[in-house]
């Protein structure tokens, strides 16, 4: 078997009847696709899977059929849990220190993740499978299912496809490996209709006119430092309240930031009235520094896609400026160590 933890995972599932599949407080296409794929697999194994996330599924994920089966309340009765696409308690703010955490800790728990750099690991996990070579948690689940001979009906394959496409931005970023493409080919061979899935996603992710206008506002407020190599924009609480229920401000503008000539790092900050600050960090190929930046502020993730969340009495501008200064420092070091790559990237983008 490729994963030495696979046998322990198989034993956990075999011993359980009701299995709760858990997503973190920041659900995305990977976590939801992974959860729904596991739901199908576990059901085909004769188990009773239940889906749980402490927050509502955002509207932009409603193109993934089954999103409405995710419950906001942890079931009172279950035999085991499987956490997908997260292995740090930092992403479980709604659970930490609550009866829900105690309930999860009282039962066997497995974590299936793919994030490269993780701190504050889930302390009650009995099994931890974290393969950062995988493009998504869904890809990891696919490989584990193949290892264990678990059934993968077409609905599960559809959801794994959504998962892979979500984290790789449609197979367009550096997370997509050669094996990711081979897995996608296997999906298609088994009947997954990628064009149909993509059309469904595009239909549900169309933006209302008010969001279209808000996107222009975010673009107008985008700031550039370090000779235009770092772009950032801030979303205050009032805009979070007004627009987040309709569309996540980060994905709304971040790809455009990265498509701006010379930009290598794009950061979307959210500033909350209670002192919380979050940052979504994305990088272009010449600067895989996202994880390093996130770790500095207690977060984590991939080299090209990471984030952090802090709750502090420190003024927002201090946190933002410290983050941008550290990103600039890392770019300075990177350019000093690899000047040829920097010159080549500058040539390609001009």
Domain regions of the chain by residue span? 6-203, 209-348
Q: What is the pLDDT of residue 345?
A: 46
Mean pLDDT by 10 residues, the chain (350 residues): 90 98 94 98 98 91 95 96 94 92 97 84 95 94 96 97 90 88 96 92 85 96 97 97 88 93 98 94 92 90 86 90 98 84 46
The answer for residues whose C-beta is within 8 angstroms of residue 30's C-beta and 6 or more apart is 85, 136, 137, 138, 163, 164, 166, 167
Pairing between β-strand 70-71 and β-strand 305-311 as defined by DSSP bridges: unpaired
DSSP 3-state of 199:
helix
Q: Does domain 6-203 have CATH number 3.40.50.720?
A: no
Q: What is the pLDDT of residue 298?
A: 86
The answer for residues whose C-beta is within 8 angstroms of residue 280's C-beta and 6 or more apart is 250, 254, 267, 268, 307
Q: Hey, what are 316's tokens?
A: 């927002």
Q: What is the pTM of this model?
A: 0.83
Cβ atoms within 10 Å of 61's Cβ, excluding its own:
22
Taking alpha carbons only, the member of 23, 1, 30 closest to residue 145 is: 1
Contact 39, 49 (CB under 8 A): yes
Q: Does domain 209-348 have CATH number 3.30.390.50?
A: no
Contact 141, 34 (CB under 8 A): yes
Taking alpha carbons only, the member of 195, 268, 197, 180 closest to residue 232 is: 268
What is the helix (H) or strand (E) element at residue 164, kind and residue range? helix 154-167
Cβ atoms within 10 Å of 272's Cβ, excluding its own:
16
Q: What is the pLDDT of residue 41?
A: 98
């Amino acid at each position: 078997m490729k994963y030495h933890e696979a046998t322990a995972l198989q034993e956990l599932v075999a011993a359980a009847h009701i299995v709760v599949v858990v997503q973190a407080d920041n659900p995305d296409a990977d976590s939801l696709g992974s959860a729904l794929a596991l739901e199908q697999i576990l059901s085909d194994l004769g188990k009773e899977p239940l889906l749980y996330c402490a927050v509502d599924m955002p509207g932009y994920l409603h193109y993934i059929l089954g999103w409405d089966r995710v419950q906001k309340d942890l079931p009172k009765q279950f035999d085991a849990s499987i956490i997908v696409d997260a292995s740090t308690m930092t992403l479980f703010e709604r659970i930490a220190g609550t009866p829900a955490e105690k309930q999860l800790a009282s039962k066997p728990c497995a974590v299936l993740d793919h994030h490269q750099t993780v701190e504050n690991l889930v302390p009650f996990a009995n099994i931890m499978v974290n393969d950062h070579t995988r493009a998504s948690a869904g890809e990891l689940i696919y490989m584990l299912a193949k290892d264990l001979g678990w059934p993968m009906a077409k609905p599960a394959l559809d959801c794994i496809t959504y998962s892979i496409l979500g984290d790789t931005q449609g197979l367009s970023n550096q997370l997509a490996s050669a094996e990711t493409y081979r897995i996608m080919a296997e999906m298609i061979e088994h009947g997954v209709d990628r064009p149909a899935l993509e059309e469904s996603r595009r239909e549900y992710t169309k933006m209302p006119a008010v969001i279209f206008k808000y996107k222009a506002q975010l673009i107008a407020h985008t700031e550039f430092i370090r000779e235009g190599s770092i772009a950032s924009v801030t979303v205050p609480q009032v805009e979070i309240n007004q627009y987040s229920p309709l569309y996540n401000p980060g994905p709304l503008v971040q790809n455009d930031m990265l498509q701006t000539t010379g930009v290598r790092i794009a950061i979307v900050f959210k500033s909350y009235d209670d002192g919380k600050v979050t940052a979504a960090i994305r990088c272009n190929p010449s600067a895989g520094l996202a994880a390093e930046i996130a770790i500095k502020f207690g977060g984590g993730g991939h080299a090209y896609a990471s984030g952090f969340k802090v709750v502090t009495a420190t003024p927002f501008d201090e946190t933002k400026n410290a983050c941008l200064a550290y990103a600039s420092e890392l770019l300075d070091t990177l350019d000093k160590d690899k000047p040829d790559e920097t010159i080549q990237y500058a040539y390609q983008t001009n």
